[in-house]
């Protein structure tokens, strides 16, 4: 997977390279004005943006990127803990908004989670049929068996194991009635 990380702090970029470089194909960009030309020349699977950078703010850069790359997943990774910034980033369409400091294991897990969901969406949309058998579809609801996530329209929901078992039961058996004892035994054998 190709990740592009944009951060004006060289120390942060060095840290990402050291800890994520052996798991992903990384492109590290310190000057945010280099992002648009880079994306025109080389595809990337995900863009990770710092929010407050000199020359151009992360939100402004995000909007510029989206003009030509409508479906490129973007995660904001920032030291700005404000709720307003988080809400703005998510409302603009970012996949996630992560506040620094963050453990790199958590960052890696979030990246992998988002990329898996994107891959699952691509497979359902017919771009890759290898995961199609691993879903249960009911009207506009899609249940992903491998990741125990659900999609309703364009919204993804991560489910707890109990929620997953219960929803899978109903999705696999529409129009069937189950008594309380059966459900209880299925959830807590």
Q: Are residues 32 and 49 in the same domain?
A: yes
Beta bridge partners of residue 41, listed in sequence order = none
Q: Are residues 82 and 13 in the same domain?
A: yes
Q: What is the mean pLDDT of residues 168-181?
A: 86
Pick the last residue of a domain from 82, 104, 123: 123
Q: Are residues 178 and 155 in the same domain?
A: yes
Distance (Å) of CA 12 to CA 113, 146, 189 = 22, 33, 47
CATH of the domain at 92: 3.40.50.2300
Q: Are residues 80 and 42 in the same domain?
A: yes
Q: Are residues 67 and 114 in the same domain?
A: yes
CATH of the domain at 163: 1.10.10.10
Which sign, positive or negative, has the C-alpha torsion 148, 150, 155, 158?
negative
Task: Render the burial of 16-32: b for 16+ CB within 10 Å, e for the rest.
Answer: beeebeeebebbbbeeb
Query: Within 10 Å of residue 97's Cβ, how many Cβ atoms?
Result: 19
Dist CA 174 CA 172 (whole Å): 6
Distance (Å) of CA 78 to CA 10, 29, 64, 93 = 14, 15, 18, 16
Q: Is the Cβ–Cβ distance between 79 and 100 less than 8 Å?
A: yes
Q: Which pLDDT belongs to residue 122? A: 58
Residue numbers of the domain that contains 80: 2-123
Query: pLDDT-derived band of residue 147, with 50, 70 and 90 as boundaries?
Result: low
Q: Are residues 106 and 164 in the same domain?
A: no
Pick the last residue of a domain from 123, 138, 159: 123
Pick the last residue of a domain from 77, 94, 123: 123
Q: Which residue spans within 72-117 are E strands per DSSP?
A: 74-78, 96-99
Q: Which pLDDT belongs to residue 26? A: 92
For the chain, percent of residues with pLDDT exceeding 90: 29
pLDDT in tens, 125-143: 454 444 344 778 877 888 8
CA 69 from centre of chain: 16
Q: Are residues 118 and 56 in the same domain?
A: yes
User: Angle between the 180-187 and 161-172 helix axes, to the nearest 10 degrees?
Assistant: 130
Q: What is the mean pLDDT of residues 14-34?
A: 91
Q: Are residues 37 and 95 in the same domain?
A: yes
pLDDT in tens, 36-66: 999 999 988 899 999 999 989 999 999 999 8
pLDDT in tens, 91-119: 888 889 999 888 888 888 888 888 877 76
Split into its structural domains, the chain has a count of: 2
């Amino acid at each position: 997977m190709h990740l592009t990380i944009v951060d004006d702090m060289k120390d942060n970029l060095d840290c990402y390279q050291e800890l994520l470089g052996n798991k992903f194909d990384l492109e590290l960009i310190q000057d945010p004005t280099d992002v648009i030309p880079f994306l025109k020349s080389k595809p990337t699977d995900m863009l990770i943006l710092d929010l407050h950078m000199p020359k151009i703010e992360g939100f402004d850069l995000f909007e510029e990127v989206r003009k030509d790359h409508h479906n490129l997943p973007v995660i904001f990774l920032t030291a700005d803990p404000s709720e307003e910034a988080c809400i703005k980033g998510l409302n603009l369409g970012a996949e996630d908004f992560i506040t620094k400091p963050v453990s790199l294991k958590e960052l890696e897990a979030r990246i992998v989670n988002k990329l898996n969901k994107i891959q699952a969406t691509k497979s359902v949309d017919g771009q890759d049929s290898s995961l199609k058998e691993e879903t249960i579809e009911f009207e506009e609801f899609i249940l992903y068996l491998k990741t125990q996530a659900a999609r309703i329209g364009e919204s993804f929901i991560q489910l707890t194991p109990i929620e997953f078992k219960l929803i899978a039961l109903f999705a696999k058996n529409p129009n069937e009635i189950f008594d309380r004892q059966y459900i209880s035994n299925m959830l807590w054998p």
